[in-house]
Amino acid sequence: MLEKDILIVNPKSNISIATLWAKKDFIFNSLPENVKNRINIIGTLYTINGIKYLIQTLGENPQINKIILYGPDLTLSGQALIDIFNNKDKETLKRYNINLDYDKIKEILNTTNIIDMRKDFWNKNISKLEEIIESNYKPENIFRRKINIEIKEEVKKDYGYIIPLPPAFIYEESLFNAWIRLLTEIKIYGILKDSEYNEKQLERLNIIVSLGLYGRKYQLEKEFDEFIKLEEFEKHLRGYFIDKKPDGVDYTYGERFLNYNNLNQLQYIINKLSKNPETRRAIMITWNPNIDIHSNDPPCVISIEGIIQGKYLNLTEYIRSNDMFRGWPLNMYALIRIGEYIVNEINKRTNKEYELGIVTTISASAHVYEHDFPYMEKVLEKYGYRIKSFVPDPKGNFIIYNEDNKTFVEHRSYDNTILDFKFGSENDDEIYNKLKGLPFFTSYDHSMYVGREIYKATKFRRIGKKYMQDRV
């Protein structure tokens, strides 16, 4: 149950104030003493979800018939409250996902008025707030019966998020574990929508997956075989190295990459990188507008680009539409093997010792089709624990220790040879503010680990206990 951030002042008053994202104590203490006593309840309203608890509070307090909005409406919870109390209908409640019994709360909606003073807050017009409180103050009245509203917060079990989100980034060393992570992302944050194949899909926009190989030879995980036969991976890969397409087929990846208007783009990439390892032009594409805008089955993989940094070749693949359950593992596997092929060919021609570094797929429409929902559930039920597996952060490591009555945080390169950050303080808030916003973390579980260790180190220091940093 959500703990209500409210202050009860005068239970006989008919006036309440929602300060939205402003601290209630700051607004309350800005008022003269005689005006403060004219307020029944003052509290925050950070989110639209909090409206349910506000309505519950009104049900418990039938003497309140005025809600003054005075504060910054950063998440539009104030606008939602205005819409709900102005429209007084089921449709508006549904639009804002306020899952309360309309017949039970309509008496509250019909007997309560919203006074919108959001602009006055930004204009710092506290005197106007005083005037509104004084002119609307009518104590010791009862405007409706007392209504008991029970709020049940259940964990969402169905599919489908509510708004499109910024890109999701996944870094892994294991293709299979990356698959588990991206399926988890789609299950929680995919939007349920129709597809062009008369079937529902869960779609997450712009999932970026990077596999860190750094010269390591990749071996396909056998766990895939339960859901996608291992021979399918090799069959898909072979298609990239056949430069002809069968009759009646609009394209194959091999035909587009190896024979695009008689150009072998794969050999172009190898030649370009061999002659100029600094180039940003080593790219091959599949999309042919003259054909594909009229096709019912245009290419999903649009481009592959190779960039060399140091001794590593890195590949980035852009995929306009990606079946993340059955298609993405095959695409990523093929990208790895293509990268290994390019590296070997460059090394033959240059006598260098390049290695495959990071391979990345960018899936604009990352989706799972409805017929695969049960299989997705089966995968996550059996292997969902893999999202908690440790993945070394290529950005580096944190070392945390106590010294001279301070907690110190150091950040070092992945091989510990470079110290690029060091800060110590007696105050853990100072450490937090120093680290906040700095791009030291590839994954959020690393940042959570560091936060936990800083908390533990400062706690131990204050009680005089020796602190030793936990292994991940």
Q: What are the residues whose beta carbons fall under 8 Å from the beta carbon of 245, sequence distance 6 or more?
A: 251, 252, 254, 255
Nearest CA-CA partner of 414 in 212, 218, 278, 216: 212
Least confident of 50-64, 149-163, 195-209, 374-388: 149-163
Query: Do residues 237 and 368 both lie within one domain?
Result: yes
Please, what sign has the CA dihedral across residues 396, 397, 402, 405? positive
Q: Which domain holds residue 113?
A: 6-136
159 domain residue, yes or no: no
Query: Do residues 346 and 406 both lie within one domain?
Result: no
257 domain residue, yes or no: yes
Query: Do residues 406 and 371 both lie within one domain?
Result: no
Domain count, the chain: 3
Give me the half-sphere count of Cα atoms (radius 13 Å) on the Cβ side of residue 246: 3
pTM metric for this prediction = 0.78
pLDDT above 90 covers what percent of the chain?
A: 91
**Domain-ending residue, one of 84, 113, 136:** 136
pLDDT tens readout for residues 349-368? 999 999 999 999 999 999 99
411 domain residue, yes or no: yes
Residue 386 pLDDT > 60: yes
Residue 203's DSSP bridge partners are: 191, 367
pLDDT tens readout for residues 144-162? 999 999 988 776 678 899 9
Query: Do residues 275 and 226 both lie within one domain?
Result: yes
* Rounded Cα distance, 142 and 313, in Å: 74
Query: Do residues 102 and 207 both lie within one domain?
Result: no
**Domain-ending residue, one of 386, 408, 423:** 386
193 domain residue, yes or no: yes
421 domain residue, yes or no: yes
pLDDT tens readout for residues 402-455? 999 999 999 999 999 999 999 999 999 999 999 999 999 999 999 999 999 999
78 domain residue, yes or no: yes
Query: Do residues 33 and 178 both lie within one domain?
Result: no
Query: Do residues 198 and 310 both lie within one domain?
Result: yes
165 with 368: CB under 8 angstroms?
no
144 domain residue, yes or no: no
Identify the pLDDT of residue 152. 81
> Which region, left, alpha or beta, applies to residue 240 given φ > 0 means left and ψ of -120 to 50 means alpha?
alpha
